[in-house]
Amino acid sequence: DADVTQTPRNRITKTGKRIMLECSQTKGHDRMYWYRQDPGLGLRLIYYSFDVKDINKGEISDGYSVSRQAQAKFSLSLESAIPNQTALYFCATSVATGKDEQFFGPGTRLTVL
């Protein structure tokens, strides 16, 4: 079944550590997105990519970097994690035609101590 997967699903890390969150998709979509959700809030855009050579910042990109290794893979890195990056992180994909619905991965729950 075509899907969007995220690894790890849960992660606890310490302040100052580097951490990578990975996203893979089998939908064949070109567009991929990383969002962050804080408790009681909606999702906010961190980075997005329209294809392997196209990476763009969202509203809250400070403290994050991304890598689009292939059409199917989009990784989010926290170079030096801090406690206020504790959140639920979602990857999403879409194809830019018609409704252009975004398909979300299951989320990664990240805790920075």
Partner 1 sequence: AQKITQTQPGMFVQEKEAVTLDCTYDTSDPSYGLFWYKQPSSGEMIFLIYQGSYDQQNATEGRYSLNFQKARKSANLVISASQLGDSAMYFCANREDTGRRALTFGSGTRLQVQP
Catalog residues that contact partner 1 under the rule CB under 8 A. Answer: 31, 33, 35, 40-45, 48, 56, 58, 88, 90, 92, 94, 96, 99-104, 106-107, 109
End-to-end CA distance of the chain: 36
Q: Facing residues of 73 across strands?
A: 24, 70
Other C-beta atoms closer than 10 Å to the C-beta of 49 total 20
Smallest distance, Å, CB 36 to partner 1? 11
Question: Is there a contact between 27 and 6 (Cβ–Cβ < 8 Å)?
Answer: no
- CB-nearer residue toward partner 1: 107 or 112: 107
Smallest distance, Å, CB 39 to partner 1? 11
Q: Which one, of 85, 76, 78, 81, lies nearest residue 55 by Cα?
A: 76
- CB-nearer residue toward partner 1: 36 or 85: 36
- CB-nearer residue toward partner 1: 84 or 97: 97
